[in-house]
Chain A
Amino acid sequence: MNDEIKSNAEELVNYIMKKCLWQFHSRTWDRKRQNEHILDMTARMIYGEEIKPTTPEEKCYWADAMCLMEAFNNHFGWLQKMDRAKKEAVMTALKDRIDFLTVTGSLNLELTDTHY
């Protein structure tokens, strides 16, 4: 990953960590599920895809993803100007970094508790 992609992704990571709560659900499996669905939907909308959620679960991910996509477009003008390949690189780096901060690199000892 080149430095530009990395620093672009870091700006988006910083936004999520300051403004969002969905990445901090209680357990490892919840955080993985949240990150996967919300960031996947956000990325697809950034690429221009339309998403039509049907189940309540999908609608919940989508609502967070919509707000995130709009915030990214509003606050980080450079994102919309990128070509698809660069956008994909940034969004992949973003997902990896959020997974690291909230799951694989998290120091939270409660994440693996088997009960809620």
Chain B
Amino acid sequence: MPYHLFKCSECIPEREKHAVIKGKGEDISMALPLGYLNTIPGTISERGCAYCGAKHVIGTPMKDVIHLSHGPVGCTYDTWQTKRYISDNDNFQLKYTFASDMKEKHIVFGAEQLLKKNILDAFAAFPNIKRMTIYQTCASALIGDDINALADEIMEENPDVDIFVCNSPGFGGPSQSGGHHKINIAWINQKVGTVDPKIDADYVINYVGEYNIQGDQEVMMDYFKRMGIYVLSTFTGNGSYDDLRAMHKAHLNVLECARSAEYICNELRVRYGIPRMDIDGFGFEPLSASLRKISLFFGIEERALAIIDTETARWKPELDWYKARLMHKKVCLWPGGSKLWHWANAIHEEMGVDVVSVYTKFGHQGDMEKGISRCEEGALAIDDPNELEGLEAMETLQPDIIFTGKRPGEVAKKIRVPYLNAHAYHNGPWKGFEGWVRFARDIYNGIYSPIHQLSLLDISKDEIPTDQGFVTNRMLSDANLSEEVRNDPNLHPYTGNYDNVSHLRNKKYPEFPRAEKDTSVA
């Protein structure tokens, strides 16, 4: 597999080892992009900082917590409300964010007293919330404020509150991934094992590396509940602080995003003997295999099979309607870290699209091993691309759509390439069987948007046709389909509701008789 140096990066020759083209018959032992390294000076990276990785990605999806950043207000503001990790408690963690608002004078004279006042004020403002996370930033790390000591002092003075301190300043790693690592390890060191839960269930899991983007976690919880599996904690989307202190009592760690949360699973395996099972919540086949694996672990296979059969029968005809219309559309799969491997094979096989490039902003080489293995020959794999490389790749590969973050996404739009938000989704959730159809619908709407078609015309030079009426996306997508496919009575577009999550919050589930009454766990 040849390494690839972008034309625009010829002046930064080190970049060559960060991009690889998957050639015919070649494999990951022949070439693998470097990863998780400091961004090379001179290349304008699209990464986030280690504080952002800890706070925004992992910490703040916890729902019943005051999330307070000790630093200038900018760090907090820029990591607020840009990811849609909703929760079933009226989105407390999305609505409110807290900052100690450090200024220059605090850099000179210290900011511990300022922080203490802020902590007490925040608890006073929200008297029903008794849990807090505090995130260090570059500024508070550089002046050496002892946040842990202060948190201990406050917990001693206020025994009803509990505070978690995450020391992951922005400079604490090459990218947000450094922050994922730090908060994983800090949580298990500080908090796991400090709550002893009462468990009245036979089958107990931690659902790890799941952030409830637009309701992903709640969709998966629905399946687990239908299988009679008790989810002790979710790390961390829609997750509860105290539940996460009890992670040591689960029978199995079901790991979704290994990039952001494999560390805590590995430590839970070593320290508490809880096995780690990696799963895919995206795609009919990978999700079915994942539900089966979990059910096999607990010996309740028939419960998983019932769900798989029901959901597949309900949603497959809709997925296949989109597949017929997305066949061989070219996709650049350019997410942050884990979705390049979660999606690379599943979107190709189940939606018919061709993945012409995968990239990762903050992934490690392990993510590239998975991603390159899962995509087809000819794909271009890029680690930590800069904006010019992204543009060059789009000009060369001519994708029909890209899946990426909103910053590179807006760049793509400027050169008339539609994009879907891979981090926060468009009309998610995209997990689950129905979610996968919603994803296909978003891809379809992105590629065949009539507005997008109009944007391809440049009014400064192109002739604007005046003899054509407005076309619909259906007219565009069906133009080249055979009569048989176009009118296939078994296939139809998405028929689900606008909101397919809220109703799950009041849903009644079957009660499964206990297999054994012993509440001690393995």
Contacts and interface: CB of A to CB of B under 8 A. Distances in A.
A82 interface: no
Interface string A48-71: 000000001101101110110001
A56 B273 contact: yes
Interface in A83-116: 100-102, 105-110, 116
A81 interface: no
A110 B289 contact: no
Interface string A6-32: 000000000001110110111100100
A63 to B, nearest CB: 4
B442 interface: no
B29 A107 contact: yes
Contacts of B441: none
A66 B277 CA distance: 14
Given A63-B277, A116-B263, A18 B28 contact: no
Interface in B11-52: 27-29, 31-32, 34, 36
Contacts of A30: 266
Interface stretch (B99-107, B120-128, B362-370, B382-390): B362-370
Contacts of A19: 285-286, 289, 345
B342 to A, nearest CB: 9
Contact of A63 (B263, B270, B286, B297): B297
Interface residues of B, number: 42
B289 A67 contact: yes
A107 B32 contact: yes
B251 A56 contact: yes
B293 A67 contact: yes
Given A18-B345, A63-B293, A107-B31, A56 B369 contact: no
Contacts of B370: 21, 24
Contacts of B36: 110
A8 to B, nearest CB: 17
A66 to B, nearest CB: 5
Contacts of B275: 56-57, 59-60
Contacts of A66: 293, 296
Given A24-B369, A59-B275, A106-B369, A18 B374 contact: yes
Contact of B29 (A22, A59, A105): A105
A21 B369 contact: no
Question: Do most interface residues of chain B lie in helix, strand or loop, or is the interface mixed?
Answer: helix
A51 to B, nearest CB: 11
A89 B29 CA distance: 23
Contacts of B296: 59, 62-63, 66-67
B20 to A, nearest CB: 10
B287 to A, nearest CB: 12
A63 B369 contact: no
A102 B369 contact: yes
B252 A60 contact: yes
Interface centre among B262, B270, B275, B373 (most CB of A within 10 A): B373
B246 interface: no
B323 interface: no
Given A60-B276, A116-B263, A17 B374 contact: yes
A102 B370 CA distance: 10
12 contacts: A17-B373, A18-B373, A18-B374, A19-B289, A27-B266, A56-B252, A57-B273, A59-B297, A67-B293, A71-B289, A101-B27, A108-B369
Interface of B: 27-29, 31-32, 34, 36, 185, 251-252, 258, 262-263, 266-267, 270, 273-280, 285-286, 289, 292-294, 296-297, 341, 345, 364-366, 369-370, 373-374, 522
Interface of A: 17-19, 21-22, 24-27, 30, 56-57, 59-60, 62-64, 66-67, 71, 100-102, 105-110, 116
| 9 A-B pairs with the lowest CB-CB distances in the bound complex, closest first | A60-B275, A105-B29, A21-B278, A17-B373, A107-B32, A63-B296, A108-B365, A116-B266, A63-B293
